[in-house]
Amino acid sequence: MNIFEYYLKKINKNILENKDILKLEDFESLNNVNLEIPPQQYNFDLSTNVALVLSKDNKINPMDLGTKIKRLFLKNIDHFEKIEIAGPGFLNIKLSKESMAFLINKILNIKDLYGSKKSNEKYNVEFVSANPTGPMHVGHCRGAVFGDVLSNLLSFNGNKVIKEYYINDYGNQIKNFVESVYLRIREIKYNEKFVLKENLYPGEYIKEIAEKIIKNNKNIKVDNFEDCFQELKELSLARSMELIKEDLKKLGIIHNNFFSESELIKKDLVNKSVKLLQKKNFVKEGILEPPKGEPNKNWKKVKRLIFKSTEFGDDTDRALQKNDGSWTYFANDLAYHSDKIDRKFDKLINILGADHTGYIKRISSAVLALSDRKIKLNCKVCQLVKLYKNGKPFKMSKRAGDFISAQDLLKEVNKDSIRFMMLNRSNDVELDFDFEKVKEKTKENPVYYVQYAYARINSIRRLLKIDPKDKILVNPETFSPNEFEEKIIRKIFEWPKIIESSINKLEPHKIPFYLYELSTLFHSYWSKGNEDNKYRIIENGRIKKVDTLAFINLIAIVIKNGMDILGVSLPEKM
């Protein structure tokens, strides 16, 4: 039940059917017509730019056209009770009380489906994909929550979504990681001092992994690194993935699929996808230009296979082979994405950290090339999280190297606050995350504000002994909302629009903002009752007006739907 869609259809239909009366010929911009909520001071339910848009195409005065359309709508669309032309030619529309009641009852009937649309596409959302060389750090949390909520949002709309994690368990960093574990084991077993060399991992967690491995594998031999590498690699990777999964679980995130890079190598998928690209003529053999900017000592003049990504808008063509002829990370990732394409997803989405921005053109070019431009990889970037404690930049390095782990964060702040705060900002803006503020239980913390609104609603229900499952509808004949209720209805009507634009732009941050605004309307209505008896909801333990219960249920429905998407809990009491 999206009322904007519902009435926009009626509007378009009406215009087309009466084009002669309106003296219109050109409808090129008809799909630029929109229906929105007018600014508050106008006190109308809907607003459309139809006269503005069509007057331009047909070169007529928007006010004249507006007047004609107004007359037409009032005659033909019985839900429209009053129309006013405002500003340069907007039509502001007021719905009749009966039609409002009709719409509200529809919402009360569909409940937890309110706002969802019956889409049916298959999505792959890849997110987190943190290197399995240690536990997650705080920066990963933002992308993790973002990806999870985006997935929830897409499933809410009826899509099939696979949440995927790409495990980079191949290459030099893994070797360094395993060697670090190896040396720590020797440190424990043989009392050899761990000497930190370049590329080795210093973190405390390496010791913990070493201890765990010794504990579970009493007979493990660590005499020679080469000999025990394979076994140690498996054990170490298993342990660090376990740590990562634990952190994710604490954040409320469960992936459906873990895809391993080394499996990719094992199955020879890289050769296959490079061959595929060659067949499509997107690969050349040549010598790369030396990198611009700072001179790079690693650059060598070597003939190698190169992907012609500039054909897809990349700045430069990209190497598929290293100096020694082995595949680059990119070549592997290309094979991974080729596999995604083979798995027949309609849409591919990757959530990346800000430090990977430069990689986007390359990999999305690859997807276009591999899919004959049929599939577009959509990459969303999450900007950095800056940590603060009481307004001061917060650093902590006792656990590991110099990063703050997700565990450290989870120890201080609960999951609900983390999730809400991480989303309470557009993803392409840096996020200031203050440990202390996020723990505060005041208006300054929007999580509690929304939860509190819901708790108050439940307190009303308890008082009146009402089961939330009870079906309550409004009576179209007697329906007469007061000014607070009117504002609430308009906000409730907006919900499907929020979902729609969050999905179109892949911007879930709109949801927390919306929920906050909705909660404000409720708190405001509630408090008015303390000031003026007329607005009190309950009198002598009984509800004053049955319709009010409908409003309360509407708010509860939408808050619940929204918080479910965000993955934030809603206590009945606080």
Applying the rule CB under 7 A, the residues between 31 and 50 that interact with RNA are 34, 36-39, 41-42, 47, 49
CB atoms within 10 A of CB 263: 15
| DSSP annotation of 384 | P
Binding to RNA by residue 356, rule CB under 7 A? Answer: yes
With 0-12 CB in 10 A as exposed, 13-18 as middle and 19+ as buried, what is 277? buried
* Choices 112-120, 201-209, 210-218, 515-523; region in contact with RNA by CB under 7 A: 515-523
Q: Which is nearer to RNA, 156 or 448 (CB)?
A: 448
Q: Which is nearer to RNA, 196 or 254 (CB)?
A: 196
Binding to RNA by residue 466, rule CB under 7 A? Answer: no
Q: What are the Cα distances from residue 342, in Å, to 7, 332, 335, 367, 552?
A: 41, 15, 10, 11, 48
Q: What gap in Å lies between CA 129 and CA 121, rounded to an integer?
A: 23
Binding to RNA by residue 449, rule CB under 7 A? Answer: yes
274, containing H or E segment: helix 269-279
Site for RNA, residues 472 to 501, rule: CB under 7 A: 497, 501
Q: Rg (Cα) of the chain, in Å, rounded?
A: 29
546, containing H or E segment: helix 546-566
Binding to RNA by residue 317, rule CB under 7 A? Answer: no
Binding to RNA by residue 291, rule CB under 7 A? Answer: yes
Q: What gap in Å lies between CA 82 and CA 95, rounded to an integer?
A: 7
Structure tokens at 245: 């999964």
Query: Binding-site residue total for RNA (CB under 7 A)?
Result: 102
Binding to RNA by residue 528, rule CB under 7 A? Answer: yes
Q: What are the Cα distances from residue 470, in Å, to 245, 456, 545?
A: 40, 18, 16
Angle between helices 446-464 and 415-423 (to 10 degrees): 120
With 0-12 CB in 10 A as exposed, 13-18 as middle and 19+ as buried, what is 329? middle
Binding to RNA by residue 536, rule CB under 7 A? Answer: yes
* Choices 239-247, 456-464, 472-480, 556-564; region in contact with RNA by CB under 7 A: 456-464
Binding to RNA by residue 516, rule CB under 7 A? Answer: yes
For RNA, what does the binding mask look like between residues 125 and 154, x meaning CB under 7 A?
Answer: ------x-----------------------
Binding to RNA by residue 299, rule CB under 7 A? Answer: yes
Binding to RNA by residue 547, rule CB under 7 A? Answer: no
Name which position in 329, 396, 435, 473 contacts RNA (CB under 7 A). 329
Binding to RNA by residue 64, rule CB under 7 A? Answer: no
Site for RNA, residues 151 to 180, rule: CB under 7 A: 168, 170-174
Structure tokens at 316: 């430069």
Name which position in 523, 545, 560, 569 contacts RNA (CB under 7 A). 523
Q: What gap in Å lies between CA 95 and CA 3, rounded to an integer?
A: 11
Q: What is the closest distance, in whole angstroms, from the C-beta atom of residue 477 to RNA in the complex?
A: 25
Binding to RNA by residue 430, rule CB under 7 A? Answer: yes
Q: Which is nearer to RNA, 191 or 442 (CB)?
A: 442
For RNA, what does the binding mask look like between residues 90 and 119, x meaning CB under 7 A?
Answer: x-x---------------------------
Q: What is the closest distance, in whole angstroms, from the C-beta atom of residue 201 to RNA in the complex?
A: 13
Angle between helices 138-156 and 483-505 (to 10 degrees): 110
